[in-house]
Amino acid sequence: MRLFYAIFPPRTVQRTLAEAQRSLRGNWKPVREDQIHLTLGFLGDVPEAELARVRRAGREAARASGPFVARVRGTGFFPGEGRPRVWFARAEGDGFEPLALALREALPEFLADERAFKAHLTLARRKGPAPRVAPVVFDLEFPVEAFALVESRLTPRGPQYTVLDTFALKERDERGKQRTAKGLAKHPQAD
């Protein structure tokens, strides 16, 4: 199973980011609107026998983290110099890095080789000659109250995502007792 942990922004944010994709020219392949997400950790191929452990790591990371606000401000490229392969929207938020680190520490055999974590939402991948996209500035915010464990199946028409589990981030009441974030909606990819 090809798995990753991800935060999917609300549909309204996905829609705004997808509108920016209209400026793409050349051989840029846009990410489907409903698949725009922030990857907390890409596990790659995981044996099915490890799935319970991967789910447990997600639950424990969520239990140790509280809800936070994500901000999306502008676009960039990977790599930053030379010929870019990925066009993305930068994401900021106090909870991204601690969540990614907790997952990496819980599953080092799957996540230890990952590059340094940089919070972003991929908008397009370059598939051949293509000009750089002009910078786009956003002023978007959304609450992060959960993240998902996602299976990705590669097909000739592009990846197909299936949300296997959703992990609610925990907030603490005035006595320090944990509770699930208020207003947590069903994950948009679980529809």
Let me know if 141 is exposed, middle or buried by CB neighbors in 10 A (0-12, 13-18, 19+). middle
Quote the pLDDT of residue 157. 86
Out of 4, 37, 67, 187, the active site residue is 37
Cβ atoms of 85 and 78 closer than 8 Å: yes
CA distance 86 to 78: 5
What are the helix (H) ranges across the chain?
11-20, 51-63, 96-106, 108-111
Homologous superfamily in CATH for domain 2-168: Cyclic phosphodiesterase (3.90.1140.10)
CA distance 38 to 16: 15
0.95 surpassed by pTM: no
CA distance 55 to 78: 30
Out of 6, 8, 120, 121, the active site residue is 120
Active site annotation includes 187: no
Per-residue pLDDT of the chain (191 residues; tens, 9 = 90+): 999 999 999 999 999 999 999 999 999 999 999 999 999 999 999 999 999 999 999 999 999 999 999 999 999 999 888 889 999 999 999 999 999 999 999 999 998 776 789 999 999 999 999 999 999 999 999 999 999 999 999 998 889 999 999 999 987 545 555 555 444 434 444 43
